[in-house]
Structure 1
């Protein structure tokens, strides 16, 4: 049996190697399923059909989150999400809706890792707002920011912009693309 310190060191080394691999392979979508993370045998609880509300200190609604299923893995100090849907409420009253096939949230709730057909809709509603598509997205809820190293496609009613890698300020609706940026503007009515 390994000493606790040795086991923790080995686990940390494996997780760092896995995170490094994910970070360098930006063209392949990440898979946060329990099988791909090797988490199946350590789950301590699960919840089906989840609806969560998160409030700010001043009582304003910060975020709602829905998921078909949440599975918690204490050894990894993380939860795996199935088909997560989140709504972030901006200061200007608009809403940002985020959906994905899967996700992972560490127990400290400082970030949400989303993977597989990630869609961000800025101010979804009767009029077409801004739509962002990518295969991987990391959201920092307290900062209302998001990052991706993957290909990103941003669609407005009259334009399309794409690039690789991005940083987004969800509260102000500002998106910075990192590389290989190109766009198309359609002025036809």
Structure 2
């Protein structure tokens, strides 16, 4: 084959491929639906939410919060929540990602979720899981995922959790395994 003919075929195939790609990007279908831009983005933010009585419901900090104008949901990067119990002491809850549905009543935390009890409310308690739903109206946390709860000398693992931040109560729901190491 002649080198000019080979070059012409290669250039023609490249033109067809690039034209097809441009057409495909300008006519999305099904899974290729273009996403809208966030209507607002907060960076290095701190938000304090109050309940109906004007008391602090939670304080949220993080590097990035974005709101989707189409469905009114928010996504959070590495969110950190300070959730007060009824005595005014704070649970520290953090994760890699967060998602707030449009109604704003629940918060979905995903990826290395960790909740630490208030340091001045013994026993020190840590909850670790991959997903956690925070119900801010009732000050509750729930998950159906694997959970590890640690306290001094005690480690509990199980499936599912319900935690009441006000009462400092944590309940594992099934397949619970406990390891107790007494301190001497």
TM-score by length of 2: 0.76
In the alignment, structure 1 residue 176 sits paired with structure 2 residue 183: no
RMSD: 2.3
Residue from 43, 62, 74 that aligns with 1:67: 62
Counterpart residue number, 1:131? 126
Relative to structure 1, the CA distance from residue 169 to residue 61 in structure 2 (aligned partners, 3 Å threshold; closer, same or farther) is: same
Between Structure 1 and Structure 2, how many residues are aligned? 154
Considering Cα pairs closer than 8 Å and 6+ residues apart, tell me whether 1 or 2 has the greater RCO.
1
Offset of 1:179 from its aligned partner? 1.2
Counterpart residue number, 2:143? 148
Counterpart residue number, 1:98? 93
Counterpart residue number, 1:158? 153
In the alignment, structure 1 residue 86 sits paired with structure 2 residue 81: yes
Counterpart residue number, 2:46? 51
Range with bigger deviation, 91-100 or 78-87: 91-100
Range with bigger deviation, 50-59 or 146-155: 50-59
Q: Which runs of 5+ in 2 are unaligned?
A: 1-32
Pick the structure with greater CA Rg: 2
| Superposed structure 1 runs of 4+ greater than 4 Å apart | 125-128
TM-score by length of 1: 0.74
Distance 1:93 1:72 in 2: 30
Distance 2:79 2:167 in 1: 23
SS, match of residue 92 in structure 2: strand
Counterpart residue number, 1:6? none
Offset of 1:159 from its aligned partner? 0.4
